[in-house]
Structure 1
């Protein structure tokens, strides 16, 4: 059973990433992952806009993860702009004892319309914060697109303004 400390840890890690991903913090793509996923491929389209997010700390269901300081959060998002969609998913995060150093991975299923095309797809996140410097890699899982979004590929960048407003920039390609 989870302790209040494990739920708090998840919230603290989420807050640490929110602080690191402000608009004034440069986001560094993980080039080796990007090149492995789409070597030499440039995306033909870009969608951008604001989004609302709710991060909900979850009780640890794995005593090994809880003992290691790993926290879980449920994701619930509403995208606006060229991507009009909702998403739900899960984040797993860890924060080190060094200030502003942490990591998280997440998966979320996005359902709605992208530039008027209806369907769903899955985003995979992998992010590291090294003493306040954030490196972010958010990619469409290959072959996860459905309906009019079948064949979708791309990557997303998230920024968080000083006041807490979230925004996305989504570079993508469709067949």
Structure 2
């Protein structure tokens, strides 16, 4: 009887999981304002650090604003390594659905200029009509314009 319960448990968990919409994309542009909050000198052999306030305004599939904090080390320019982590809270609407959620950032730049950026929606951080949202957030910068592609799913109600 115990072995049968163990086999049925994963099926019960799958059946209990909420159905999700197909992957959707909200795209557009955003403006960002960074405000220096603190700066640390580089320790011997290390990299300088900084803390910045973030304020963003979104236009397009995401309409609203976000505020947050970024922690960084290094100098983000060719020939120098750098890295950052940030968390910001979006409040507004995504494709007409109002609510809020957290975006978690992790970015690195190596000495030859190679960059790696990952931004995800924090699990279970969605509120309002965005409750249960999950996905990722891609950023491109062309000609000084910040563009985004929010790839997301929502539970079906």
Is the pair's TM-score, using the shorter chain for normalization, greater than 0.5? yes
The TM-score with structure 1 as length reference comes to: 0.69
* Cα distance, 1:59 vs structure 2: 2.4
**Which residues in structure 2 correspond to 1:1-175 (within 5 Å)?**
44-60=23-39, 66=41, 68=43, 69-95=48-74, 99-130=79-110, 131-161=112-142, 163-175=143-155
Deviates more, 1:46-55 or 1:95-104: 95-104
Measured in 2, the distance between the counterparts of 1:125 and 1:164 equals 20
Show structure 2 runs of 5+ residues with no match: 1-19
* Cα distance, 1:139 vs structure 2: 0.3
Q: Which runs of 4+ in 1 moved over 2 A?
A: 65-68
1:30 matched to which residue of 2?
Answer: none
Larger Rg: 2
Which has the larger share of helix?
Answer: 1
Instruction: Give the secondary structure class of the aligned counterpart of 1:148.
Output: helix
Measured in 1, the distance between the counterparts of 2:134 and 2:92 equals 16
The TM-score with structure 2 as length reference comes to: 0.77
Deviations 1:95-146 (A, max 9, x none): 1698242100000000000000000000000011112111110000000000
Measured in 1, the distance between the counterparts of 2:49 and 2:62 equals 31
Measured in 1, the distance between the counterparts of 2:137 and 2:80 equals 23
Alignment RMSD (CA, Å): 2.1
Instruction: Give the secondary structure class of the aligned counterpart of 1:142.
Output: coil
Instruction: Give the secondary structure class of the aligned counterpart of 1:80.
Output: strand
Deviates more, 1:125-134 or 1:67-76: 67-76
The aligned length equals 130
